[in-house]
Amino acid sequence: MTQAVVARVHQPGEPDVIKLQEINLPDPGPGEVTIRHTAIGLNFQDVYMRSGLYPGQPPFGLGNEAAGVVEKVGSGVSDFKEGDRVCYASGPVFDAYSTRRNFLAARLLHTPDGVKDEQAAAILLKGMTVEYLMQRCFPVQSGMSVLFHAAAGGVGLLAGQWGKDLGARMIGVAGGPEKSKIALENGYDVCLDRKTEDIAARVKELTGGKGVPVVFDSVGKDSFDASLNSLAPRGYFVSFGQTTGLPPPVTGAMLQKLGSLYFTRPTLVTYTADAQEMRDSAALVFDRLQRGVLRLSINQRYALKDVVQAHRDLQSGKTSGSTIITP
């Protein structure tokens, strides 16, 4: 057995429910490897899990993205060996907030040469989210106008860069002039300030009254009406998060009256359920990173012992870009 420090939630709630504890980590089982983490990604889905919005059976761990080094290899594993640099952004168990963990080799990735561990942990989940949203959920085309909420967040900044590479006209939405400036530096042609502007009215103004063919919305309740009213006829409302709470129910009549709209609520879990699709998605992310299409903004770093503060800052909107937790 090996000792590890792990984060545990015994009762869902506010950030201070996260407690660190030391455990004896068993040797990896068949098909597993033991990973010593070197960098852990912080994502808003961790907040959903901790708060109880995503149900878990207490006590449960947190975190679904990290990079590190293989320390032990279980039986039946042939793709990885001790000392390999690895990373992941998906798996059946949330437990990345830890110094070490056992992980299924079938869901594990080799960290490419030339990609630092911090980069892998900061970009993989967010980058794969952008890939499935803009390439598979709604394939964005050159010349298309795209509205993307939370443009200065980790996913939003990568989406601006990805969309620019595709040739799209990226219209971002962010909170305040400072975050709008960050978005404009990361691929957005325009960034609207949700605090001072009527988003739907400005979108119609920017598109000659037509609206946009697609809205990517991770904000939820507070942006719901603006998203619906920014769409062109037969437009797609892609709702992939709810940082401000669950959006209202969507009815068929509502979609009909606003122009035969489409509404979808996708998740990365579905789009990477197949291991090969997961690897293909990761490969596209790393390719764009290594070619310089994607530029990472790691704007916050916290030690694992300060994970409660990291959650407070993320939940209150104080962060921008990507955040790393160091074990």
User: Within a 10 A sphere around the Cβ of 143, how many other Cβ atoms?
Assistant: 9
What's the confidence (pLDDT) of residue 92?
Answer: 77
Q: For residue range 75-115, what is the model confidence (pLDDT) as tens digits?
A: 999 999 999 999 999 877 899 999 999 999 999 999 999 99
> Does pTM surpass 0.85?
yes
Q: In this structure, what are the phi and psi dihedrals at residue 215, rounded to the nearest 5 degrees?
A: -120, 130
Q: What is the dihedral of CA 70, 64, 154, 168, to 10 degrees?
A: 90
Q: Which residue is listed with tokens 């079938």?
A: 106
Residue 5 confidence (pLDDT) above 80: yes
Residue 261 confidence (pLDDT) above 90: yes
Reported as a pLDDT band with limits 50, 70 and 90, residue 154 is: very high
Q: For residue range 199-208, what is the model confidence (pLDDT) as tens digits?
A: 999 999 999 9
Q: Say how many CA atoms lie within 13 Å of 198 toward its Cβ.
A: 6
73-96 burial, b if ≥16 CB within 10 A, otherwise e? Answer: bbeebeebeeebbbbbbbbeebbb
The answer to whether 62 and 40 are in contact (CB under 8 A) is no
Percent of the chain with pLDDT over 90: 96
308 Cβ contact list (under 8 Å, min separation 6): 15, 16, 18
DSSP for 3-40, written as a single string: EEEEEEESS--SGGGEEEEEEEEPPP-TTEEEEEEEEE
Three-state DSSP class for residue 303: strand
User: For residue 40, which of 17, 61, 15, 12 has the smallest C-alpha distance?
Assistant: 61
Consecutive H or E run containing 280: helix 275-290
SS3 content of the chain, % helix, strand, coil (to 5): 35, 30, 40
- Which DSSP state fits 135? I
DSSP for 191-242, written as a single string: EEETTTS-HHHHHHHHTTTS-EEEEEE-S-GGGHHHHHHTEEEEEEEEE---
Residue 67 confidence (pLDDT) above 90: yes
Q: Hey, what domains does the chain have and what are their CATH numbers?
A: 2-123+272-326 (3.90.180.10), 142-265 (3.40.50.720)
Query: Rounded to a whole number, what is the distance in angstroms from the first to the last CA of the chain?
Result: 19
Percent of the chain with pLDDT over 70: 100
Residue 298 confidence (pLDDT) above 80: yes
What's the confidence (pLDDT) of residue 87?
Answer: 98
Integer Cα distance of 189 and 205 in angstroms: 14
